[in-house]
């Protein structure tokens, strides 16, 4: 089993493009918040250049982890992510799990996962 964020590859590209600290983008919430607007603009710019950029990003993540029995892809914010990407991997079972929490729970979990070394 592996858990990966859909945005990690975008953060990697962004960090390389502007010289940002990738590890801090992945693990340091404050640092990531400082870059949020620029990171969003970078992503939208990539989508403008290549309209299927989000789908290509998803496919690369899945193909790079083809040997994993269960892959949890987090951070997909589409209204219906399975409908948006399942057709891209027709021989793969794709299920959607939606988790919602309030801000205090997210902050509490974020602090705990950072202390454990998770992203």
Return phi, psi of residue 102, to 5°.
Answer: -85, 170
- Tell me how far the alpha carbon of residue 19 is from its chain's centroid: 20
Q: Model confidence over 58-116: pLDDT tens digits?
A: 999 999 998 899 999 888 877 778 888 889 999 888 888 877 778 887 777 664 444 33
**Residue 24's domain spans which residues?**
2-116
* For range 42-50, the mean pLDDT: 95
Tokens of 118: 């998770």
Instruction: State the pLDDT at residue 116.
Output: 36
Strand partners, 72: 3
% of the chain exceeding 70 in pLDDT: 90
Which pLDDT score, from 0 to 100, does residue 75 have?
Answer: 83
Predicted local confidence at residue 95, as pLDDT: 86
């Amino acid at each position: 089993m592996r858990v990966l964020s859909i945005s990690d590859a975008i953060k990697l590209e962004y960090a390389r493009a502007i010289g940002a600290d990738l590890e801090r983008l992945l693990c340091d919430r404050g640092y990531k918040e400082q870059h949020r607007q620029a990171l969003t603009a970078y992503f939208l710019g990539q989508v403008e250049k290549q309209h299927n950029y989000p789908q290509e990003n998803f496919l690369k993540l899945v193909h790079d982890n083809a040997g994993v029995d269960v892959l949890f892809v987090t951070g997909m914010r589409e209204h219906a992510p399975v409908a948006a990407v399942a057709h891209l991997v027709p021989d793969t079972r794709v299920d959607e799990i939606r988790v919602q929490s309030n801000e205090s729970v997210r902050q509490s979990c974020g602090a705990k996962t950072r202390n454990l070394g998770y992203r």
